[in-house]
A and B are shown apart, each in its own frame.
Chain A
Amino acid sequence: SAVISQKPSRDICQRGTSLTIQCQVDSQVTMMFWYRQQPGQSLTLIATANQGSEATYESGFVIDKFPISRPNLTFSTLTVSNMSPEDSSIYLCSVSRGDTQYFGPGTRLTVL
C-alpha cells in the first residue's frame, strides 16, 4: 500500500491569490498524479509529476495556472495560481503501486 498525506487539508482563499498544496508519500514512487474534483463532478486528472523532468499536463490544464514541483521521489507540490471562484474544488494527490492507485485525503479549496 501507500500512505499519502496532503497539506493543507482545506483553505479559503481570496480571488487573485495563489495556494500551494503539498503531497508526501511514505515511500518512493516514480509518478505522482494530481486530480481535481469539482463540486458534484467527477475526478479529472490535471497532470502527472515525474521526478527529474517537467510535469505533463492534461488537455485543458496549463503550467502557468497549475505549476508543479517534484523535487524528490516522495514529495510533490501543486500550486493553484491567480485563483478564481471556479477553482473551488478538492485537489487530490495520487500514486500508483502495481495495479492499484492510492489517493491522498484531498485539499478542499474555496475561493471567494
Chain B
Amino acid sequence: AQRVTQPEKLLSVFKGAPVELKCNYSYSGSPELFWYVQYSRQRLQLLLRHISRESIKGFTADLNKGETSFHLKKPFAQEEDSAMYYCALKRAGGTSYGKLTFGQGTILTVHP
C-alpha cells in the first residue's frame, strides 16, 4: 500500500529564511508526486509536480528515489507563503488511476 508522511505538522520560520517541508513516501510502483497548497480561506490547489521539475513561487521539489523523499524547498520564505502544504502521491494503473494519497499536511507560518 502507498503511504505519504509529512513529519512536521507545524513549521515556523522568519521572513527571508530558507524553508524545507519534508515529505517521504512508500510506494511499490513508479511514483508521481505533487505538492498542494491551501491558503487561508482558499481552496486546495496544485503547487508543483515532480514530473515538470518546475519552480513555482520560488518553491522547488526534487524526487529522491533512493531516500523516497520529495521535500519542498524555498531559499527565502515570504509572509505570503504561510499556508497548509500537502504532499500527495498519485497512484497509477488499473482502477487506482488518478487517485491521490495525501500526507498529513504541514502548516507553514512565516513571521515578519
Contact = CB atoms under 8 A, between A and B. Distances in A.
Contact of B99 (A45, A105, A106): A45
A104 B43 CA distance: 7
A66 interface: no
Ranked nearest first, the 4 interchain pairs of A and B with the lowest CB-CB distance are A103-B44, A43-B102, A96-B98, A42-B102
A42 B51 contact: no
B83 interface: no
Interface residues of B, number: 19
A48 interface: yes
Contacts of A96: 98
Given A43-B86, A99-B51, A103-B45, A48 B104 contact: no
Interface string B27-52: 00000101000000001111001010
Nearest to B32: A99
Interface residues of A, number: 20
Interface of B: 32, 34, 43-46, 49, 51, 86, 90, 95, 98-105
22 contacts: A31-B98, A33-B98, A33-B99, A33-B100, A41-B104, A42-B103, A43-B44, A43-B86, A43-B102, A45-B99, A48-B99, A92-B44, A94-B100, A99-B32, A99-B49, A101-B100, A102-B45, A102-B46, A103-B43, A103-B44, A105-B43, A106-B43
Contacts of B103: 42
A interface SS class: strand
B98 to A, nearest CB: 5
Interface string A79-112: 0000000000000101010011111111000000
A22 interface: no
